[in-house]
Amino acid sequence: MSAKKATAKTKKAAPKAAPVMGKRVEVKHISRVEGHGNIVVEIDAKNKVKACRWEVPEAPRFFEAMILGKSYTQIHQIVSRICGICSIGHQLCSIQATEDAMGIMVSDQTVRLRKLALHGENLQSHLLHVAYLALPDLMGVGSVIPLAQTHKKELLTLIGLHRMANEFSRATTGRTTHPQRLVPGGFTKVPTEAELRDMKKMLEDSIPGLEAASDLFASVVDKLPNFTRETEYVGLVSPAEYAMYWGEVGSTMDQARPAIYYKDITNEYMVPQSTAKWTKNKGESLMVGALARFNLNHKRLSPLAKGIARKLGLKAPCHNPYYNNLAQLVECAHSVEDSIRLIDEMLNSGIKSETEPKITPRAGKGVGAVEVPRGILFHAYEYDDRGRILNADCVIPTNQNHANIQKDFEALVPTLVDEDEATIELKTSMLVRAYDPCISCSTHFVDMTSAREERRLVKFVRVDD
Amino acid sequence: MAPKPKIAFFDFAGCEGDQLQVANLEEKLLDLLEHVELVNFREVMTEASDDYDIAFVEGSITRPEDEVRLKEIRSKAKLVIALGACAAIGGVNCMKNFMDDMEVREIVYGDMARAYPTYAARPAKAVVHVDAEIPGCPIDGKEFLRVTKELLLGKPPTLPDYPVCVECKAAGNICRYEQGKLCLGIITRGGCGACCVSEGSHCWGCRGLAPDANLDAARYVMEDQAGFSRIQVQDLMRMYLGYTNAPL
């Protein structure tokens, strides 16, 4: 109902704002992010912000409905297709939920290999984002392609790092995208000792490149807008390590809780001025992702990662969302060093060949929580006694960040009223990009686009019990 | 020198994993850019142009408004290439085609279901003429380069017409049926090198049916001979092959 009202308002406001000296910035389908998102900013002649919105017109894909009735043997492969970039994370989170529901325990070797897989994905996704998607803004170009002329050496270093991350993922999981070796209970195939040694060498050889990349970013760090807004940071926490694969759900404003309480942390509310549903816990919105993890867990970063954080001037607590890009680079260093440690442990204990584990399905409910590149990801399933899904819920990081992006807009845009439209467009686009949103994953994060493509407010609707 | 052909990428309902495979070509992508001008690739570049020769389309069509957009792309491009399983054969999105449309929407969006228009997912060729397909979930980067090269040379690209089993034998894998497992390699178009089977998994059918796939024989092998239930076979057949004539 109120969506209609809001549409009518927007339609009236648009022609009014244009004739006087107001400013209007409209980015339809923001580039260098995964999926489709729009930015709308309207500033009137008196420099008053009339509107600033973050919208998403992505086609809904209905994964939670599609997996109903499907067998536990297939689920992790289906949900992997939610996202091409974090397909490993979706698989691992799905497998965790299935194992939780069916009471399946896995070996130490499996846990180490899964952590390696997660590091591989973190590296490929972060490097793709900082190098190919975010860096062009800092270099004043529209894509990474012109850098092949102006900064060939640096670009080749970054490409080399990204290729290393892809090869590392392939060696661990069998493929870089939608991997095949990960299954509930373990792996269908494990790397050989020789392959592990090759991976270790590849990781060690990448360290100078990472140092060079952080030097490059340190030299342009002042191009990141100096904007801060305190918010609640949510992510996995563990007393044992920089939590990625498992832990409790921690917050900078709240006590840590087991993942089974995920709904109490990602709980949703309605905003009076719109029909959109938002997520929040203790603060007015919450942020997940590399910066959230850095703020929560920085003490457990590897030495190399701590050094790179110092070089980049990233200190916890950091409330500048643009610095998420820096936190991603810091996490790359951590992933490299922690992977080397995990490989050493496996080489010391000896790698055992695994065959596909035998599982007797049973009825039950389970929750998986994994840190994927863009933040904490939850999958929750209920299985029947044949191992077929009765209920499914997936809460994806970009959804959790949505309210935070909007709140950042509301704080940022009033500081930009004196800037020209191009600068407003760049700074708001950079803000969205800093979150590295993965909109094609956001099965519940779509606007109410009608068949006639009228502009509507963003909807955030999720399955409720 | 003749101007470089302009190429563009567009995405519909999908995970963008195929565009990622293109980005993952790394240095080879830079080599390709010596021969083409990239004018539209939202995932990696801000500049965009409506002037292009070859449009690579990713994702399946799930809403009437997507059809309009795809037809517009068709009208501007000389060649439209379906990129990946979703665009080429409908892909995983077609799983919802076997469920009641309104129920699917209600499961995910509750009482807001009516606000989310969707219809049976379909491949690009169900909406517009498609000049070539690069199948797979995700696509194989090498195949993308080969097909693109053939297009640039003005040759109609061809895909292998034999089933995955051919490459699986060449890869030295033990037949999944020998291990008591279900596998769609017997009816699926080859060209992937049996990459999933080689990693300890089985063929999921993501490259679509091989042109002469014998579905009757496949049903005999899967159900009568190997003893898999109708529902087990159906689960696998519906994962990727939902938009085919296969008896699912």
Residue owning tokens 């949103």:
A437
Of A104, A46, A43, A40, the C-alpha closest to A72 is: A104
Nearby residues of B97 by Cβ (< 8 Å), 6 or more positions away: B90, B120, B121, B242, B243
Strand, coil or helix: what is A362?
coil
Q: Which residues of B touch A159 (CB under 8 A)?
A: 26-27, 30
CA distance A50 to A15: 13
* pLDDT exceeds 90 at position B157: yes
pLDDT at A447: 36
Give φ, ψ of A431 to 5 degrees.
-65, -50
Domains, chain A, ranges and CATH? Answer: 63-452 (1.10.645.10)
What was the pLDDT predicted at A264? 87
pLDDT for res A284: 87
pLDDT value, residue B117 = 78
Mean pLDDT of B149-173: 95
Residue A449 is predicted with a pLDDT of 34
Q: Which stretch of DSSP H or E encloses residue A458?
A: strand A458-460
Of A308, A438, A13, the closest CA to residue B17 belongs to: A438
| The predicted structure's pLDDT at residue A148 | 87
A52 is in an annotated binding site: no
Chain B residue with minimum CA distance to A37: B42
Q: What percent of chain B has a predicted confidence (pLDDT) above 70?
A: 99
pLDDT (0 to 100) of residue A268: 59
pLDDT value, residue A278: 63
Look at residue A398 in the predicted model and tell me its pLDDT.
Answer: 85
Stated as kind and residue range, the H or E segment containing B37 is: strand B37-41
Closest-CA residue of chain A to B42: A31
How does residue B132 score in pLDDT terms, banded at 50, 70 and 90? very high
Average per-residue pLDDT in chain A?
Answer: 87
Q: How close does chain A come to B109, measured CA to CA in Å? A: 6
pTM (2 d.p.): 0.91
The amino acid sitting at A431 is: L
CB-based contact B239:B219 (threshold 8 Å): no
In this predicted structure, what is the pLDDT of residue A272? Answer: 39
Note whether B138 contacts A178, CB cutoff 8 Å: yes
Contact residues, A window 332-361, toward B, CB-based 8 Å cutoff:
356
- Count other Cβ atoms within 10 Å, centred on residue B170: 11
Residue-wise pLDDT tens digits, A408-457: 999 999 999 999 999 999 999 999 999 998 876 544 443 333 323 333 33
Number of Cβ within 10 Å of residue A177's Cβ equals 27
DSSP letter for each residue of B115-142? GS-----B-GGGTS--SEEE-SSS--HH
Block residue for tokens 């790359």 = A332
- Of the candidates A246, A243, A240, the one whose C-alpha atom is nearest the C-alpha of residue A367 is A246
Mean local confidence (pLDDT), A157-182: 95
Q: Which residues pair with B163 in a beta bridge?
A: B189
Q: Which of B43, B108, B204 sits opposite A443 (nearest CB)?
A: B108
How far apart are the CA of A316 and the nearest CA of chain B, in angstroms? 30
For residue A275, count other CB atoms closer than 10 A to its CB: 22
A463 touches chain B (CB under 8 A): yes
**Cis ω for the linkage preceding A361 (within 30 of 0):** no
pLDDT on residue A274: 34
Please name which of A374, A390, A385, A379 lies closest in space to residue A433, comparing C-alpha atoms: A374
Q: Which of A313-322, A446-455, B157-166 has the least mean pLDDT?
A: A446-455
pLDDT, tens digit, for every residue of A23-33?
999 888 888 88
Helix (H, G, I), strand (E, B) or coil at A435: coil
The dihedral built from the CA positions of residue A86, A459, A419 and A16, taken in this order, carries a sign that is positive
Taking CB atoms and an 8 Å limit, are A461 and B91 in contact across chains?
no
Per the DSSP assignment, residues forming a β-bridge with B56 are B9, B81
- Binary contact (A85, B19; C-beta < 8 A): no
d(CA A398, CA A405): 10
A444 is in an annotated binding site: yes
Instruction: Give the DSSP per-residue string, B206-228.
Output: TT-B-TT--HHHHHIIIIIIT--
* Domains by residue range for chain B, with CATH: 6-152 (3.40.50.700), 164-240 (no CATH)
Instruction: List, for residues A203-214, the tens digit of each pLDDT value.
Output: 999 999 999 999
Q: Are B123 and B82 in contact (CB under 8 A)?
A: yes
Instruction: List own/partner pairs for B153-156 with CB under 8 A and 24 or more apart.
Output: B156/B132
pLDDT at A239 over 60: yes
Q: Do A444 and B138 touch (CB under 8 A)?
A: no
Averaged pLDDT, A379-383 = 95
Q: A with B: how many residue pairs have Cβ under 8 Å apart?
A: 181
**Residue A120: band (very low, low, confident or very high) from pLDDT cuts 50, 70, 90:** very high
pLDDT of residue A125 exceeding 90: yes
Please give the average per-residue pLDDT across A208-225, as a whole number. Answer: 96
Is A393 in the B-facing interface, judged by CB distances under 8 Å? no
The percent of residues in chain A predicted with pLDDT above 90, rounded, is: 70
